[in-house]
Amino acid sequence: MKTGAGKLEGRHALVTGASGGIGMAIVEALLEAGAKVTLTGRDRTRLEQRTRHLPANSVSLVSSFDVTDADAVIVGAEAARAGFGPIDILVNNAGEAPSAPFDKTSAAMWNNVIATDLSSVFLVTQAFMPDVKAAGAGGRIINIASTAGLTGYRYVSAYAAAKHGVVGLTRSLALELARSGVTVNAVCPGFTDTPLIARAVEEIVNKTGRTALEARADLARANPQGRLVDPKEVADAVLWLAGPGASAITGQAIAVAGGEVLSG
């Protein structure tokens, strides 16, 4: 039996932004542990393409789930419940990370990043709050933040501000829900080997003239282990927080970054 197999049997998890690199790794880990999983995203075709290898009887797809649109989230929440019932484990993973110097960050870019990376966590969590609270000690809210939510980085001021907001929201909500048994935590990956990083590498190449290998090496150097984080390592942290053994862990922002950010 694989590690963690069966420990989430009978639980229903929902993952936003599920078709991305980290999102899909989280989905696969939750399924392996026995959970039923609802995957959400805006693009039905992309969701279907990315989930062909998953067991059809354990997954449900909810498309047109725009995490920045309050009405779409409400409609999507009802569709999610229609699949496997109320949500026990909510994983807020949707996000994006465009980069620009601060003086070239437009108001449109700023507003879009705040909406996608921060306000979305508010909207989605509020929509599923009745479900998670009803789950009591089995209720879990896990927000995928970033090491950018724990420190600062150049050229991503909007992203860093949004992710700091996610960490603050996580801590406040954890205190509000502490007596209910529901736990609320944030997982903060460092530079992770996903399509998002591939796009960052492409931007670095275009702006600096460095090769893709040089750009990836620059990003990896931020990690004291000298490498990019594997999405499965992020998923492992989520799986631990979702399980019964983490019932006393709440209000935490856990860095998965090879020692890049140290918290005490």
pLDDT in the model for residue 104: 96
Number of independent structural domains in the chain: 2
On whether residue 197 sits in a domain, the answer given is yes
pLDDT tens-digit readout, 93-112: 999 999 899 999 999 999 99
Buried residues in 171-204 as b, exposed as e (16+ CB within 10 A) = bebbeebeeeebbbbbbbbbbbbbebbeebbeeb
Residue 2 confidence (pLDDT) above 60: no
pLDDT in the model for residue 135: 97
pLDDT in the model for residue 190: 92
Whole-model pTM: value is: 0.93
79 with 171, same domain: the answer is yes
Q: List the structure tokens of 256.
A: 């998965």
pLDDT tens-digit readout, 195-239: 777 777 787 788 788 888 888 888 888 899 999 999 999 999 999
195 with 79, same domain: the answer is no
CATH value at residue 88: 3.40.50.720
List active site positions: 159
215 with 145, same domain: the answer is no
pLDDT in the model for residue 193: 84
46 with 62, same domain: the answer is yes
Contact 65, 42 (CB under 8 A): yes
pLDDT tens-digit readout, 132-175: 999 999 999 999 999 999 999 999 999 999 999 999 999 999 99
pLDDT tier for residue 1 given thresholds of 50, 70 and 90: very low
Angstrom distance (rounded) from CA 249 to CA 93: 19
104 with 210, same domain: the answer is no
In terms of Cα–Cα distance, which of 196, 253, 262 is closest to 223?
Answer: 262
How large is the average pLDDT for residues 238-259? Answer: 97
On whether residue 6 sits in a domain, the answer given is no
50 with 173, same domain: the answer is yes
Give the rounded percent of residues in the chain with a pLDDT score beyond 70: 98
134: exposed, middle or buried (C-beta count within 10 Å: 0-12, 13-18, 19+)?
Answer: middle
On whether residue 167 sits in a domain, the answer given is yes
On whether residue 154 sits in a domain, the answer given is yes
Of 12-21, 42-51, 59-68, 200-209, the poorest mean pLDDT is in 200-209
pLDDT tens-digit readout, 58-98: 999 999 999 999 999 999 999 999 999 999 999 999 999 99
pLDDT in the model for residue 5: 67
179 with 202, same domain: the answer is no
Phi, psi values for residue 125, rounded to 5°: -65, -40
158 with 207, same domain: the answer is no
Residue-number span of the structural domain to which 215 is assigned: 191-228
More confident residue, 215 or 184: 184
H or E element: which one contains 197? helix 195-208
